[in-house]
Structures are given as C-alpha cells and as structure tokens.
C-alpha cells in the first residue's frame, strides 16, 4: 500500500515538473511573441503619430509578462535612464536583444529609426521561431517524458 502511495506521489511530482518545464517554455514564447508585437506596434505608432516611448510602453496591450516588464521600466525612461527590461523567463541573449532595441529606440532620431526597426524585427522574428521550436522540442518533450517517468515509477512500484 505504501509503495502505491509513494508511486502515486512520484507520478504527481513528475507530472508537476513536466508541466512546470512546459510552462516555462510556453511563457518564454508568449513574452517573445508579445515583444515581436511590440516592435511592430512601435513601428506603426512612431511613424504616424510620433508617439513617445513612455506612451508606447504604457499603452501596449498584451497578456504575457511582457506588459509588466514594460510597466516597470517606464519611470526610468521618463527620467532619461535606459529602459532596462528584466525577466527571469528570458535567456540572457534574448533579454540583451530586447534591451538593445529599447536602447536603440531611446537614441534614434526620426530618420534612423527605420533601420532600427528593420534590424530588430528580423531579430525578434528569429527569437520567436527559436522559442517556438524549443517549446515543442524541449518543453512538450520533457512534459511527456516526465509523465512517462511517473508512469514507469508506478509500474515499478506495483
């Protein structure tokens, strides 16, 4: 009986770990999708309405953690500091790319922003593709493997 209970607990832990890993990749993908949306939104807004950075960051609507990342950085932008976005969900290289875009936006003028957007859109699309691939290849795979490991534990215990 004890063995069955332990096996069930083991199964639950494995499933939980699998779901947590999958969620990590899922939320990373969502952030990068919203970042790509933000770059596109910024391109439109800065072209037609010349919207300033605090308004861009405050008005952008999305469901992922990216909204909070922007909200945390607005006061720094108003005070003339760098818009340093932080997140424990993104890889360092992704976060660096996001912050490089924000820095570029805070320094470019009307004529140089076109080049910034072209470059940043390419990078953001690449980052989104990689994150999507990793979610499938790592997140979903690990979730399945952890479930199978849990089932294996139950079988072994029985």
Partner 1 sequence: MLKLLGEQIYDAVVNAVPLNAVTEIRLRRGEKVFVKNASGGRFAEYRCSSEDVAAVLKRATMSSLYAYQEELKNGYVHYSKGVRIGVAGEGVVESGKIITYKNFTSLTVRIPHEIVGAADRILNILNPFENLLVISPPYGGKTTLLRDIARILSENRDTLILDERGEFFAGGARFGPRADFIVNTPKRLAAEGAIRAMNPEIIIMDELFPSVDMPIVKEMVSGGIKIAASIHSDSVENALKRCPEIKELFSYAVVLTHIPRAGSIKSVTRL
- Chain residues that interact with partner 1, rule: CB under 8 A: 46, 50-54, 77-80, 83, 105-111, 113
Could you tell me the CA-to-CA distances from 90 to 26, 49, 50 in Å, in that order?
A: 11, 31, 29
- What is the residue-wise DSSP string for 14-39? HHHHHHHHHHHHHHHHHHHHHHHHHH
Tell me how far, at minimum, the Cβ of 57 lies from partner 1, in Å.
10
Tell me how far, at minimum, the Cβ of 117 lies from partner 1, in Å.
11
Nearest to 39 by CA among 128, 111, 110, 109: 128
Tell me how far, at minimum, the Cβ of 80 lies from partner 1, in Å.
4
> Please, which residue, 107 or 126, has the CB nearer to partner 1?
107
> Please, which residue, 90 or 102, has the CB nearer to partner 1?
102
Grouping H, G, I as helix, E, B as strand and the rest as coil, residue 79 is coil
> Please, which residue, 106 or 130, has the CB nearer to partner 1?
106
Tell me how far, at minimum, the Cβ of 77 lies from partner 1, in Å.
5
40 contacts 122 by C-beta, under 8 angstroms: no
């Amino acid at each position: 009986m004890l063995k069955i209970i332990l096996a069930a607990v083991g199964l639950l832990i494995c499933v939980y770990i699998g779901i947590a890993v999958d969620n990590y990749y899922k939320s990373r993908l969502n952030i990068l999708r919203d970042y790509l949306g933000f770059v596109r939104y910024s391109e439109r807004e800065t072209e037609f309405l010349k919207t300033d950075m605090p308004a861009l960051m405050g008005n952008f609507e999305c469901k992922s953690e990216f909204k909070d990342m922007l909200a945390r950085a607005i006061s720094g932008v108003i005070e003339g500091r760098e818009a340093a976005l932080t997140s424990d969900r993104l890889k360092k290289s992704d976060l660096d790319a996001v912050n490089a875009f924000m820095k570029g936006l805070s320094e470019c003028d009307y004529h140089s922003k076109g080049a910034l957007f072209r470059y940043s859109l390419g990078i953001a699309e690449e980052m989104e593709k990689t994150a999507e691939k990793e979610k499938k290849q790592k997140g979903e795979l690990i979730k399945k493997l952890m479930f199978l490991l849990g089932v294996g534990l139950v079988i072994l215990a029985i």
